[in-house]
Amino acid sequence: MKNAKSIKILDYSYNLPSEKIAKFPLTKRDASKLLVYKENNLLEKKFFQLSKLLPTDNLLVLNDTKVIQARLFFKKATGAKIEIFCLNPIEPSNYELAFSQKKSCKWKCIVGNLKKWKNGILSKNIIIDNIEYQLNATIIKRISNSQIIEFSWNGDITFGEVLEKTGNTPLPPYLNREPKESDKKTYQTLYSKHKGSVAAPTAGLHFTKHVFRDLKDSNIRVKRLTLHVGAGTFKPVKSEQIGDHKMHAESFLVSQDTLKALISNLGNITSVGTTSVRTLESIYWLGVKIILTEISEKLTDKPNLSLSQWEIYDLPQNLKTYKVLYNLLVYMQTYELDNIEASTQIIIVPGYKFRIVNNLITNFHQSQSTLLLLIAAFCGNDWKKIYNYALNNDFRFLSYGDSLLILGEQAVNGN
């Protein structure tokens, strides 16, 4: 893919009228429209019909990350309102440890109205379970467009409780509204488990108990992984060529159990959402890196598992998926790892050959976004046909909008 970096973002544009953006979710999650794309044909269905549309014996892979109430508001004595948007933990850097901290912790944050907070400590009283506490925030370090904030508080409560009880839902900026109490529930998948995202894996918002029951009755297996969605998912591409755009990094976790299921179901795997796609494809490339490391030197210590933005396009492209994943499983068993935890900054653009994902469930994404580039990579130029149909047939767009199922034999499995 020598020309990947020269892709022009203007080629991935479409006009999205504001009235097409779903500002609120439907009352019934699975009542959303589902546009099905298969072999260049389009078909309108409802999401609750999903089990009848997926291939037989399919493996469905979900992202079970949980959205945190990441927006904290403070008010200065002058009356100035300061918003602190918590992005990811710094000290401790592990999400579970960060949420379990008592007394203090440090986070990378974006501060709204920063010019009004030049220095000093911000403080406010918070009430949790009818008990009043004091929460403080101090800027420790400024890093370009973000800040390292130290939070401190009194009492025997965790930072997870502070966010959950006093924070606000980090709705996408394009919704252009303040969050409501109902968003705490609706901007969260039913199966969310591991706290850490500042944006929902929105393809999963359509799932209900009824849908899961039908999937089980249809012999469709479901496995989970975790990728904590960062605010960078909404970062617009401002450069003319995609090679000049800096992709955001996100941390993820995949269990041995899920990896075994992937190996057993190669050729028949459906990803729920672009975040799951990013994780699944990253797993393959991590496996490639481990194989290359094993070839060049004997592994005595676990390597640092991370993928940079363009790295995968420079790695060998001909390693069989089964071999790579099986070797990764052996690696995990050798080091007695129940889960593999890593960071990925990869960008998936048109021309990319998928190694694991065969089918994709997703929402409709913003124009000139890296998410739309991923969709175009998956279905080629037909993304225009799909989006034009959705625009002309009353589909609802973006996070709270309708859904899309792309069926195809996209993965290069090479069993």
Quick: pLDDT tens for 123-156: 999 999 999 999 999 999 988 889 999 999 999 9
Q: Quote the CA–CA distance of 89 and 126 in Å, as a whole number.
A: 21
**Where do the domains of the chain lie?**
4-66+187-407, 71-167
Q: Quote the CA–CA distance of 226 and 192 in Å, as a whole number.
A: 9
Beta strands 221-227 and 250-255 are antiparallel
Say which DSSP state 163 is in: H
pTM of model > 0.85:
yes
Beta bridge partners of 343: 251, 306
List the chain pLDDT tens, one digit each, 415 residues.
668 899 999 999 999 999 999 999 999 999 999 999 998 899 999 999 999 999 989 999 999 999 999 999 999 888 899 999 999 999 999 999 999 999 999 999 999 999 999 778 999 999 999 999 999 999 999 888 899 999 999 999 999 999 999 999 999 999 999 999 999 999 999 999 999 999 999 999 999 999 999 999 999 999 999 999 998 888 889 999 999 999 999 999 999 999 999 999 999 999 999 999 999 999 999 999 999 887 665 555 556 689 999 999 999 999 999 999 999 999 999 999 999 999 999 999 999 999 999 999 999 999 999 999 999 999 999 999 999 999 999 999 999 999 999 998 665 544 4
Pull the structure tokens for residue 109. Answer: 């944050």
State the Cα torsion 171-191-87-404 to the nearest 10°.
Answer: -60
Superfamily of domain 4-66+187-407 in CATH is QueA-like (3.40.1780.10)
Angle between helices 370-379 and 274-296 (to 10 degrees): 80
The long-range contacts involving 111-120, CB below 8 angstroms and separated by at least 24 positions, are: 111/82, 111/83, 111/84, 111/85, 111/139, 111/147, 111/149, 112/82, 112/83, 112/84, 112/85, 113/80, 113/81, 113/82, 113/83, 114/82, 114/147, 116/76, 116/78, 116/80, 116/82, 117/76, 117/80, 117/82
Q: Quote the CA–CA distance of 216 and 385 in Å, as a whole number.
A: 32
